[in-house]
Amino acid sequence: MDFTRKYDLVAVGGGIAGVAAAVAAARAGKKTALVEKTIFTGGLATTGLIYIYLPLCDGFGRQVTFGLAEELLLKSIAYGPGKIPENWRKGQDAEEKNRYRVVFSPASYIIALDEILREAGVDVWFDTLFCTSVMDGDRLAAIEIENKSGRGRLEAGVFVDCTGDADVALRAGAPCVDGDNYLTIWALVNTPTPSTRRKDDGTENLHMAILGGGPAGHNKPAGSRVYRGIDGEAVSHFVMESRRLLLDHYKKLFAEGGGHNRLNSFPITLPSMPQHRMSRHIVGQVTMTDGGYGKHVEDSIGLYADWRKSGYVWEVPYRSLLPQKVKGLLAAGRCMASEGDAWDVMRVIPAAALTGEAAGIAGSMALDRNIMPDELPVADLQKKLRESGFPLHLEDVGLKAEG
């Protein structure tokens, strides 16, 4: 081993979940590291050019998600364009005209996320690849990483898997489940076309070409295959084919006339990570499943509302962050345990912030007590989360649970 370092908590993957987990742990006084294979913070939200911070409200004027999820939404527009809908500037529970969400500039968001990590005192390890998990019995004791300094080892009391693909959990021997993806590309482009978006919020120059399949495959190019984001060959094929989609888009645009040519219509920035929505998640001690909205969950760590339709609010179980068979590890973001419709609801930016923060707080509390995260009394965690401003149950925001 070329080097070894010791931390209290290590978050692996510097997407929104990883940033939230690391910031929460560092603010709780823990010596914290964030390991990221690129040189950017934000993951899909920034390097992936996914520039829409989905809502914190239920679609009926009621804010349901708070804490770092809201702080990171505000941060996404701190140094760039995007604006909070008028009705949400008056405070929570405003009459709902537009949902509490924003569009942001990915580059502006990266420099804002860097700042929040710096201020919290997190050690950020950029350009550092998580390679494998090192076990001590059934406990994750360390991870092996690779960067310009060679092969290294980070030891910690608690790890949070925020890789989006459950890489840490899988290599620690935790059961995981794979998901399907359809060919798609979101790219930042120069010229507005029918497939780019215009806004009145300062993002007029942020034209996005959004091409290919949606989450359930609608609009997927005819004859295109289904991709697994955890297969090396499939990842390369997905990236090559998604860029071909963009090239075909321009060829068609130029052929159609209408004044478009290479001088006024061209891509500016391409996603620098594969745009997989659902690649791999842990099998949790509990897994969120279809139809779980509107129900009381005893070990809820917060609320998240369906971003696709109004009125569907989910209580998120702590046990969905805890993998099976492996101790000393939590999962957050799109690799926490949710499947089917619940995965589609929970895989997005604000939900990644919510689960990341909860994992960072839970990990810190476990460290304080010298216990594993799965041994943490849920009532104590919930007390702490409430103190951090999290409503935990539907009743806390004036909703009623079914049954």
Q: Which residues here bind ligand FAD, judged by CB under 6 A? A: 12-18, 35-38, 43-45, 48, 50, 52-54, 129-130, 162-165, 167, 184, 186, 273, 275-277, 333-334, 347-349, 352
Q: Which two tokens stand for residue 302?
A: 């917060």
Nearest distance, CB of residue 212 and ligand FAD, angstroms = 8
Q: Which two tokens stand for residue 150?
A: 């060679």
CB-nearer residue toward ligand FAD: 39 or 296? 39
Order of strands across the sheet that contains 267-269: 207-212, 184-189, 267-269
Distance CA 315, CA 305 (A): 9
Nearest distance, CB of residue 112 and ligand FAD, angstroms = 15
Single out the residue of 264, 254, 265 nearest to residue 209, CA to CA: 265
Beta bridge partners of 115: none
CB-nearer residue toward ligand FAD: 256 or 268? 268
Beta bridge partners of 9: 32, 158
Nearest distance, CB of residue 130 and ligand FAD, angstroms = 3
CB-nearer residue toward ligand FAD: 237 or 393? 237
Distance CA 198, CA 204 (A): 5
Nearest distance, CB of residue 194 and ligand FAD, angstroms = 19
CB-nearer residue toward ligand FAD: 42 or 317? 42
CB-nearer residue toward ligand FAD: 205 or 272? 272
Nearest distance, CB of residue 322 and ligand FAD, angstroms = 16
Q: Which two tokens stand for residue 167?
A: 């890489």
Nearest distance, CB of residue 73 and ligand FAD, angstroms = 10
DSSP strand pairing (139-147 vs 313-317): unpaired
Nearest distance, CB of residue 359 and ligand FAD, angstroms = 11
The angle, 0 to 180 degrees and rounded to 10, between the axes of the packed helices 16-27 and 68-76 is 120
CB-nearer residue toward ligand FAD: 164 or 317? 164
Beta bridge partners of 237: none
CB-nearer residue toward ligand FAD: 315 or 344? 344
Residue 376: exposed, middle, or buried by beta-carbon count in 10 A (0-12, 13-18, 19+)? buried
Single out the residue of 345, 338, 318, 340 nearest to residue 330, CA to CA: 318
